[in-house]
Amino acid sequence: MVQEKLNEKLYYEHLENGLDVIILPKKGAVNYYATFATHFGSLNYKFKAPGEETITTVPDGVAHFLEHKLFEEEDGINALDKLSKVGANANAYTSFNHTAYLFSCNSRFDEAFDILLSFVQNPYLTDENVTKEKGIIAQEIKMYDDDPDWQVYFDLLYALYGDKHAVTKDIAGTVESIGEITPEILYRCYNTFYDPSNMVICVSGDVDPERVLEKIKISVKSQKEKPAIERYYGEITPGVFNKKIEKKMDVSIPMTAIGFKDTKAQRLRKAGYSEDNYDLVKRDVAIEILLAIIAGDSSNVFEELYKDGTITKSIGGEFTFEEDYAFSAFSFESENVDKVVKRITDEIEKLKAEGISDAIFERTKKTLYGGYVRTFNDSINTARAFTSDYFKGVNSFDFIEAYKTIEKDYVLQVLKEHFDTNNMAVSTVLPND
């Protein structure tokens, strides 16, 4: 399949072994970017592997732990060092729903790509190297425990979803949970989730799509496509678990996030990389527009609160949707948390009652559309967007069409559906006494 938007081409192919390949050639680009990613994140602690009848439950943090260990190779040379020697800047990350291994480079793409394809497919796990990694990851977990931004975010998730859903589990796990991880557990998860039928490769840069595709077909272990993995995420209950969560940390000014749990997005999503998910893209665009209108830098809310000194920098706004949950969040720093929360919620109710002017709607839509289009100017941003969106089941090009065609009446409908105070929670980190 080949698609073209904004003079950008997308080559997509689903291979016989189930692997999906996305190639975004950019003639004249100065850098290359590649990801090799699996649909395995912190949400996937409970699953039923293809062909099995029993449910497997693994300790929290396994996906993140496996991400750390895959760079270690049997020859004793770390894959990061190998990539560095050919001039590639490499990294990896684990999110709620996927793990990605990646690199960027300005030259020697073929060599770096060969290394990426090799180490992701060849895990080397022993009792010794797993035990050693536990100490390293334990330090990382403790670092996040002391990070107020991280704590505000996860407290908000807990307030919205409670302890019955996997989204409230820390991506890295806990010191206690990683202590339970063994090479056998890691190999079990690797063999289940690092199968080509559960993975995607995304490449962007001045490349020949046919040549890249041929290299992938030769390098990726050939096998029969497997059925989908059954995943168990937990329960999403009506309303929110806790309207307000506060904790104290070493911060100089209170840090707050206001979240609205979306009750419709997860019902819109169809499994897999599907054109049927366009309604979800459209809803995402509508909520992003609303977040900007309600409290963005050009909004009445921001102007008033900034002028009177209640806030000193922008109010962040973001909508997140994944395979089993969705929510929006405003984030800000202010000594007067209650005033900001009230001003934002008052503005939401005012917009529901009075509507949105055509001028504000069109200006906001054009601004966000322009910002989105600019992401395609760079190979790295392009590949990152397509990789992340792939695991949401959507095509990044669809956002272009949604921004261009979305109508105000639809946005007002989403405003009334999504920004419901019954589905709102507030998380705040306060300064220590």
**Which residues carry out catalysis?**
67
**CA-closest candidate to residue 321, choices 370, 394, 373:** 394
CA dihedral over 175, 177, 182, 184, signed as positive or negative: negative
Q: Give the Cα separation of 337 and 256 in Å (integer).
A: 7
In three-state secondary structure terms, 44 is: coil
Q: Which residues make Cβ contacts (< 8 Å) with residue 301, sequence separation at least 6?
A: 294, 295, 315, 343, 344, 347
**Residue 81: φ, ψ to 5°:** -65, -40
Q: Give the Cα separation of 52 and 62 in Å (integer).
A: 20
Q: Give the Cα separation of 131 and 52 in Å (integer).
A: 29
In three-state secondary structure terms, 220 is: coil
Q: Give the DSSP H or E segment for 46.
A: strand 46-48
In three-state secondary structure terms, 358 is: helix
CB 252 within 8 A of CB 431: yes
Residue 191 CB neighbour total at 10 angstroms: 11
CA dihedral 229→209→72→189, nearest 10 degrees, is 0
Exposure string for 368-396, b = 16+ CB within 10 A, e = fewer: bbeebeeebebbbebbbbbbbbbbbbbbb
Residue 127 CB neighbour total at 10 angstroms: 10
Q: To which residue do tokens 């992340």 refer?
A: 388
In three-state secondary structure terms, 41 is: coil
Question: How would DSSP label each residue in 265-311?
Answer: HHHHPPSSS-GGGHHHHHHHHHHHHHHHHHHSTTSHHHHHHHHTTS-
